[in-house]
Amino acid sequence: MKQFIRISCAILCCFVIAACGQNEAKPSEPAPQKKPAPVTKEEKPPVQLGTDRNPDTLQIPVLMYHSINTNVKNNLITPPNEFDAQMKWLADNGYHTVTLAELDALLETGKNVPDKPVVITFDDGYQDNYTNAYPILKKYGLKANIFVITDKIAKNNHFDEAALKEMSAYGIEMDSHTVHHHELNTLSYEEQLKELQDSKTVLERLTDKKVNSICYPVGRYNEDTVRAAEAAGYAMGFTTEPGKANKNDGMYTLPRVRMVPGMSIESAVK
Ligand SMILES: [Zn+2]
């Protein structure tokens, strides 16, 4: 506040000095006619910021996808045309996709929440996230997040480092799905911590960005998992339990909305 007053006084002094200077130099000249400022292309309306909401009641859907592929063998695989229609629906209906880093701040503070916020996540880091989902996300200008199993990068049907880096540079956030995809509740605290720390280190090296979220493989976790996630430096942990995310769920036990083939996107986000 003091600094604000000091800055205000300084600005006021500048105006007074400038005005005095004008008067001394040209005492008899009439004040110049003020013309309306020309409207230029640079003069855009201010960016529409979000509204402040009560973080205790704020609930944001975090959609959980896995594979986006025509070869639908199980309910973890969504066909690309269906995914395209879902993303188009979100874009056409005024939804705002937010990254997990953004979600962290929204859930904690409730400040500047965009209209109709939604988070898109993919588990496991499948190759088709790059070949099928990524072009669709780009087409509609949507943000998304991928939970990567770091030991699977470039193996079998998982995308490689080049694809990971390209998507990260575009703005798709890379987060951890551990190193080996073990069910964490079967591991000791030290083993869990190592899975969480090592995967975070690899992803931060590849993306040069902070990795803030972990998603527990097969949704399995225990009290040690929550402690290890916090100790490893994550801000949020995600389960496969159903529901919209609210900070009172616990920032390390946040639920998601499972997307299965044939599911209505409208019902998923409402
Ligand atoms: Zn998984």
CATH of the domain at 105: 3.20.20.370
Does residue 205 belong to any structural domain of this protein?
yes
Residue-level pLDDT at 22: 44
* Mean pLDDT over each residue of the chain, to the nearest integer: 88
CA–CA separation, 262 vs 38, rounded Å?
53
Q: How far is the CA of 149 from the centre of ligand 1 (A)?
A: 8
Q: How far is the CA of 220 from the centre of ligand 1 (A)?
A: 10
Give the pairing of strands 62-65 and 117-124.
parallel
Mean pLDDT for the stretch of residues 87-95: 97
Does residue 22 belong to any structural domain of this protein?
no
Q: How far is the CA of 218 from the centre of ligand 1 (A)?
A: 6
Q: How far is the CA of 45 from the centre of ligand 1 (A)?
A: 43
Q: What is the DSSP string of the chain?
A: -HHHHHHHHHHHHHHHHHHHHHHHH-SSSPPPPPPPPPP-TT-PPPP---B---TTT--B-EEEE-EE-S---STTEE-HHHHHHHHHHHHHTT-EE--HHHHHHHHHH-TTBPSSEEEEEEEE-BHHIIIIIHHHHHHHT---EEEE-GGGTTSTTB--HHHHHHHHHHTPEEEE--SS---GGGS-HHHHHHHHHHHHHHHHHHHSS---EEE-GGG---HHHHHHHHHTT-SEEEEEEES-B-GGG-TTSEEEEE--TT--HHHHH-
Residue numbers of the domain that contains 241: 62-269
Condensed to tens digits (0 to 9), the pLDDT of residues 140-152 reads: 999 999 999 999 9
Does residue 139 belong to any structural domain of this protein?
yes
Q: How far is the CA of 181 from the centre of ligand 1 (A)?
A: 6
Does residue 23 belong to any structural domain of this protein?
no
Could you give the count of Cα atoms lying within 13 Å of 176 in the half-sphere of its Cβ?
32
Q: Assign 74 a pLDDT band (cuts: 50, 70, 90).
A: confident
Does residue 6 belong to any structural domain of this protein?
no
Residue-level pLDDT at 37: 54
121 neighbors 100 (Cβ within 8 angstroms): yes
Q: Assign 31 a pLDDT band (cuts: 50, 70, 90).
A: low
Q: Is residue 168 scored above 90 in pLDDT?
A: yes
Q: Which of 60-74, 163-177, 235-249 has the lowest mean pLDDT?
A: 60-74
Q: Is residue 153 scored above 50 in pLDDT?
A: yes
Task: List CB-based neighbours of ion ligand 1 within 5 Å.
Answer: 123-124, 217
Q: Is residue 214 scored above 50 in pLDDT?
A: yes
Q: How far is the CA of 63 from the centre of ligand 1 (A)?
A: 14
Q: Assign 18 a pLDDT band (cuts: 50, 70, 90).
A: very low
How far the first Cα of the chain sits from its last, in Å, is: 42
Does residue 33 belong to any structural domain of this protein?
no
Q: How far is the CA of 121 from the centre of ligand 1 (A)?
A: 11
Q: Is residue 10 scored above 60 in pLDDT?
A: no
Does residue 30 belong to any structural domain of this protein?
no
* Domain count within the chain: 1
Does residue 14 belong to any structural domain of this protein?
no
Residue-level pLDDT at 21: 39
Residue-level pLDDT at 219: 96
Q: Which of 22-36, 132-146, 153-167 has the lowest mean pLDDT?
A: 22-36
